[in-house]
Structure 1
Amino acid sequence: MSLLSVVDLAVARGGLRTVEGVSFTVDAGAALILRGPNGIGKTTLLRCLAGLQPPLEGRVIAAPDSIAYAAHADGLKTMLSVAENLRFWARVFDRDEIDAALEAMNLRDLAERPAGALSAGQKRRLGLARLLVTGRPVWLLDEPTVSLDADSVALFAAVIRGHLAAGGAAVMATHIELALPEAAILDLGGYRARPRAAGLRPAGFNEAFA
């Protein structure tokens, strides 16, 4: 079953096209890893898939409220504890279970620590743990292993494998080998756009994430 389909997508950054003609399908239980040189448009493509910016051309097909996006920023409330951050995000997605997320990313011993007092790696683990409280089947991940040590990368890879085994899907930009036998590779270098202006935004576009 397809959870995400992309048809002839073209995206732009800073008024210039980056990639175009991108098409792929991600089925339940599958992962797609985006590769390509810096600046090729991996982040821009992920933002488009997440609904944060419109495509110039093409379509993104996914069920409503099926996508969760983890960007470079961890999106934490520094004055709240680790557990309080997860409870906040669980409520945003109309859920209340956080124990599995604490356990999966080795955060149980840090549950009462303010997020602002965490190390960079701990903040990243908490940011990624938020995915587990969304209940959404399609995860979009932009360089998810930044600031993680080897043990934490292994934890995260196990979380991804568990998500896929449960019928979820993932699209991620990463240069780290995560040992995901289910993953396909999409090299965006083959979709580099010809240099030209992106054109005007569609009328009425709202940048708020829906």
Structure 2
Amino acid sequence: MTLHVDNLTLARGGVPVLTGVSLTVEPGQALILRGPNGAGKTTLLRTITGLQPPLSGQITGAEDQIAYAGHADGLKATLSVRENLMFWAQVFGRTDITAALDAYALHPLADRLAGTLSAGQKRRLGLARLLVTGRPIWILDEPTVSLDKDAVAQFAAAVRAHLGQGGSALMATHIDLGLEADVLDLTPFRAHASARAGASDEAFL
């Protein structure tokens, strides 16, 4: 499934942040978003996933195809690692969590409550959820936060395997993951200051 974003204009809190964004992510491709803090990377990813509407433009190819990993790990603290993965697998009509446990070396933690895990372990579990969704398009917002060097390597290997199976990945990260990936700098798409100023007045009406 190919993801197309055409001439998207986005706002955060009613204030335009990006305008005229177009991109395409093909099966087997990884695309990395770059830009300074506040450039609109998270806003773009949330818009593509359907968590907020664009001001204008079109998104095609995303319907029921996306698995999203944002800043929150999406875990249930009172469930074990195994139970968390089973929960998410069942949400997506699946039952096998073996690949997810393998990819992030979670077998030794399988019976631990998610609420007792370290920040890095929680992040590994949060990313492992992607592997039980069966969704071909992964949308990832700073996925390596809290990960140590070994866990970053595990994540990169998981993405590489996903791409090799015909999946795709769109991610915001400043970390070199050693992947063959295209890079899109969002700086040229930032909304002009005059547009931001005009909209900020309307946001509080």
Question: Are 1:12 and 1:198, in contact at CA under 8 Å, matched by a contact in 2?
Answer: no
The aligned residue for residue 191 of structure 1 is 189
How far does residue 105 in structure 1 lie from its aligned partner after superposition?
A: 0.8
The residue identity in structure 1 corresponding to 2:34 is: R
**Distance across 1 between alignment mates of 2:137 and 2:20:** 22
Q: Secondary structure at the match of 1:59?
A: strand
How far does residue 63 in structure 1 lie from its aligned partner after superposition?
A: 4.7
The aligned residue for residue 168 of structure 1 is 167
The aligned residue for residue 30 of structure 2 is 31
**Distance across 2 between alignment mates of 1:70 and 1:11:** 20
How has the CA–CA distance of structure 1 residues 162 and 70 changed in structure 2, closer, same or farther, with 3 Å as cutoff? same
Instruction: Map 1:143-162 onto structure 2 (within 5 A).
Output: 143-162=142-161
How far does residue 185 in structure 1 lie from its aligned partner after superposition?
A: 0.3
TM-score (norm 1): 0.92
Q: Which runs of 5+ in 2 are unaligned?
A: none
The aligned residue for residue 101 of structure 2 is 102
How has the CA–CA distance of structure 1 residues 18 and 179 changed in structure 2, closer, same or farther, with 3 Å as cutoff? same
The aligned residue for residue 119 of structure 1 is 118
The aligned residue for residue 55 of structure 1 is 54
Q: Hey, which bits of structure 1, 4+ residues long, moved more than 3 A?
A: 198-201
Question: Are 2:10 and 2:17, in contact at CA under 8 Å, matched by a contact in 1?
Answer: yes
Question: Are 2:67 and 2:138, in contact at CA under 8 Å, matched by a contact in 1?
Answer: yes
Question: Are 1:15 and 1:199, in contact at CA under 8 Å, matched by a contact in 2?
Answer: no
TM-score (norm 2): 0.94
**Distance across 2 between alignment mates of 1:63 and 1:39:** 24
Q: Which runs of 5+ in 1 are unaligned?
A: 202-210
How has the CA–CA distance of structure 1 residues 163 and 36 changed in structure 2, closer, same or farther, with 3 Å as cutoff? same
The residue identity in structure 1 corresponding to 2:121 is: Q
Higher share of residues assigned helix: 2
How far does residue 14 in structure 1 lie from its aligned partner after superposition?
A: 1.4
The residue identity in structure 1 corresponding to 2:89 is: A
Instruction: Map 1:70-109 onto structure 2 (within 5 A).
Output: 70-109=69-108
How far does residue 200 in structure 1 lie from its aligned partner after superposition?
A: 8.6
Q: Report the count of equivalent residues.
A: 199
Over the aligned positions, Cα root-mean-square deviation in angstroms equals 1.5
**Distance across 1 between alignment mates of 2:142 and 2:100:** 19
